[in-house]
Amino acid sequence: MKARVFSAVAALLFPAAVMAQTSRPATYITAEDVKTVNALPGVDRQIVNVDVGNTNLAVGVVHRGRTGAPPAGGGGAAPGGGGAAAAPAAAPEPCGDKGTVPAGSPTGLWHQGQTETYYIISGSGTLVTGGRVVNGRKSAPDSQVTKILNGPSCSGSIVGADVVQRVVNVGDIIIIPAGTPHGWANIPDHVDYLSVRPDPQRTIPELYTNPALKKQ
């Protein structure tokens, strides 16, 4: 009788669905992979975006140069040249609050579905988190931010009494929840960091491996 009671209680506490084992292949990212991607032009470079079952999970490596310095080798027009001029881009859709922005307010963005974890691997800087985005603009549906990096996002000035500005250094880890504005107020020289990005809403549906790694 006692055995039957124990079995019944165990069935309630540990349902079969909870105990079911699901195995998916692990993803290995070597130190050399990180160096390869971090040497590419641009600022934010996605390394991979993989399906881990209950969420997609992306890892990127970000290089930001000194505050006020021109961007190194990123952005710019698409290669090609010649031919007819491209159609003008549509005006960005507004987002966030509307209002007056105090002089000197930092800028940044928040992401609809991605929580980000930063791990600082080189350099240092003053990270801004919290507050709210004012007079913002949505990332375009066909932009790299939306399609590859962070999913739908809203960028603009960051204001509010709850804004935190904090210097971060090598080895520091910062967790930034989805919907929380974040940006950089001051970078004396540079800051490089890994960004681990769970995406339970799958706002970026396409899986991804950086083309530089596919060539290896």
Q: Which residues of the chain have pLDDT under 50?
A: 9, 74-86
Those residues with Cβ within 8 angstroms of residue 97's Cβ, 6 or more apart along the chain or in another chain: 132, 133, 134, 135, 136
Please give the span between the terminal C-alpha atoms of the chain, in angstroms, as a whole number.
Answer: 63
Q: Using one digit for the tens of pLDDT, what is the confidence trace for 80-93?
A: 333 344 455 678 89
In angstroms, rounded to a whole number, what is the distance separating the alpha carbons of residues 59 and 198?
Answer: 9
* 112 and 155 Cβ atoms separated by less than 8 Å: no
Q: What pLDDT was estimated at residue 156?
A: 97
Q: In the Cβ-directed half-sphere of 84, how many Cα atoms lie within 13 Å?
A: 3
Alpha-carbon distance of 65 to 58, in angstroms, equals 23
197, β-bridge pairs: 58
Domains of the chain: 26-65+92-209 (2.60.120.10)
How many residues appear in the chain?
216
Q: What is the pLDDT of residue 152?
A: 97
**5, 7, 11, 13: CA torsion to nearest 10:** 70
The Cα 157–Cα 162 span in angstroms is 14
Structure tokens at 48: 């991979």
Amino acid type, 207: L
Which pairs from 69-78 meet CB under 8 Å and 24+ separation? 71/43, 72/41, 73/41, 73/42, 74/41, 74/42, 74/43, 75/42
Rounded CA-CA distance 114/188 in Å is: 28
What is the predicted pLDDT for the residue at 211? 96
- Provide the pLDDT for residue 90: 73
Quickly list H helices, the chain: 2-13, 16-19, 31-38, 144, 211-214
